[in-house]
A = this chain, B = another copy of it.
Amino acid sequence: MFRIDLNCDMGESYGAYRLGADEEIIRWVTSVNIACGFHAGDPNVMRRTVRLAMEHGAAIGAHPGLPDLAGFGRRTMALKPDEVYALVVYQIGALEAFVRSEGGRLAHVKPHGALYNMAAVRRPLAEAVAEAVRRVNPELVLYGLSGSELIRAGEQAGLRTASEVFADRSYEPDGTLTPRDLPGAVLTEEGAVAGRVIRMVKEGKVPVRDGTERPIRADTLCIHGDTPHADIHARRIREALERAGISVKKLETP
């Protein structure tokens, strides 16, 4: 039986600023990663988004990012492992307090943006993230780029991990995502996107920008929430997966 979790970054609004179609997308995904106030999100938005996720029964994850609101956490910063450790502990705790105070349970952690990418390739940073998760709560699932250092560090720390794949992003030969500012980094043709996911789940393979393909593990698929018509895309991908016989459900569901 094939299955996959659909996750989406949420709670990225900030003060008067609105970002993302959270109320729409939540209908199609099974887990959400909620921004924790460093790269996006604020305490009011966090509370509101936790409630939204609980109403829809989605698994809730912390989505810690770099302390760079102006850059939306997408600009690499030269942080040391102990700095990364501390900011991940901090952000998990902040989000977990909202989940607990609403009567829910925090399920996972997925780093955001540049932190995600840094932890994918730099082992000391990956270990800092994994250690932060383990020490705050070893029951949390660590989401990371499939095949990355972060997944390996999580496993080594004894954490349960979820290997994440991207349907609309191009892959490099080393398994990393093609940087957003390179041509072809983001796929837009909808049929191709769905077909790519189905192949990743059923065959465990993904095409690479250089024309070859790589083996890939797909526990969870990243659904983007900040693009035009994101909810329609989310729905179509979910429907295509289900039509292909792939069960869409959150990780903890048997």
Contacts and interface: CB of A to CB of B under 8 A. Distances in A.
Given A89-B47, A89-B97, A96-B97, A78 B114 contact: yes
Contact count band on A: 35 or more
Contact of A78 (B75, B93, B137): B75
A85 to B, nearest CB: 8
Interface stretch (A9-17, A119-127, A205-213): A9-17
B101 A97 contact: no
A93 to B, nearest CB: 2
Contacts of A96: 93, 97
Residue picked from A15, A76, A82, most chain B C-beta under 10 Å: A15
A54 interface: no
A76 B75 contact: no
A222 interface: no
Interface in A1-38: 14-19, 37
A193 interface: no
Given A14-B17, A43-B87, A67-B70, 13 more contacts: A14-B70, A16-B19, A16-B72, A44-B82, A47-B86, A68-B68, A89-B98, A91-B94, A93-B95, A93-B96, A94-B97, A100-B137, A101-B132
Interface in A57-97: 67-72, 75-79, 82-83, 85-87, 89-97
